[in-house]
């Protein structure tokens, strides 16, 4: 999905409102869908990443498009600020330093592979989803900056999913996706 500059700015505004509104008003912000462009009404999957002075402060998202882009961004911004179990809730004192990044995900494409070596040969520097039964994890493409080696990237993704680094099974499924990134 290619967004105009005004649409990108509107999404960043929606994300910020979704974080500020509950702090100031005690209730969740809901975007007025009727006033938005057609692109922002289309279903999309997103991740919202919050940074404080360059350090991760929260990151929550969806992998499949089930609601409008604007609503998905609002929900994920709220969840990144207040529901990410790795962090305490964002406070009003943090708002001024909070930087918001939105990643709009493409439709994930399954990687057909029978072995880990086959997977490693097919992996690209894109987002990657790992699934097996109820276990699931993903890394956004930005994670390649911290884990540039394919084997390290895959091993950390396995750990994130609750598996061991050397784990392999025929039931493992992998999907690649790209993102359109919007940052403040």
How confident is the model over 3-31, as pLDDT tens digits?
A: 999 999 999 999 999 999 999 998 999 99
Confirm if 80 and 49 have CB atoms less than 8 A apart: yes
Q: Which two tokens stand for residue 10?
A: 């509107």
What's the mean pLDDT in 105-111?
A: 96
What's the mean pLDDT in 32-38?
A: 93
The residue ranges of every structural domain in the chain are 5-105, 109-178
Calpha distance 127→63 (Å, rounded) = 10
78-98 confidence digits (pLDDT tens): 999 999 999 999 999 999 999
In CATH, the architecture of 109-178 is 2-Layer Sandwich (3.30)
Confirm if 147 and 156 have CB atoms less than 8 A apart: yes
**Would you tell me which CATH number, out of the four given (3.50.30.10, 3.30.700.20, 3.60.15.10, 3.90.550.10), belongs to the domain 5-105?**
3.30.700.20
Nearest one of 106, 105, 81, 107 to 94, comparing CA atoms: 81
């Amino acid at each position: 999905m290619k967004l105009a500059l005004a649409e990108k700015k509107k999404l960043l505004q929606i994300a910020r409102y979704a974080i500020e509104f509950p702090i100031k008003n005690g209730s969740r912000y809901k975007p007025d869908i009727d006033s938005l462009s057609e692109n922002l009404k289309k279903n999309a999957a997103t991740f919202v990443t919050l940074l404080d002075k360059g350090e991760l402060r929260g990151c929550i998202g969806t992998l499949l498009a089930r609601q409008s882009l604007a609503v998905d961004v609002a929900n994920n911004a709220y969840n990144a600020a207040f529901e990410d179990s790795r962090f305490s809730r964002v406070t009003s004192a943090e708002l001024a330093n909070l930087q918001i990044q939105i990643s709009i995900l493409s439709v994930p494409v399954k990687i057909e592979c029978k072995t880990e070596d086959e997977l490693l040969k097919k992996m690209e520097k894109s987002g990657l989803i790992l699934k097996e039964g109820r276990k699931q994890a993903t890394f956004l493409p930005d994670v390649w900056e911290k884990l540039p080696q394919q084997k390290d990237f895959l091993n950390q993704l396995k750990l994130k999913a609750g598996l061991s680094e050397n784990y392999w099974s025929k039931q493992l499924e992998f999907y690649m996706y790209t993102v359109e990134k919007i940052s403040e």
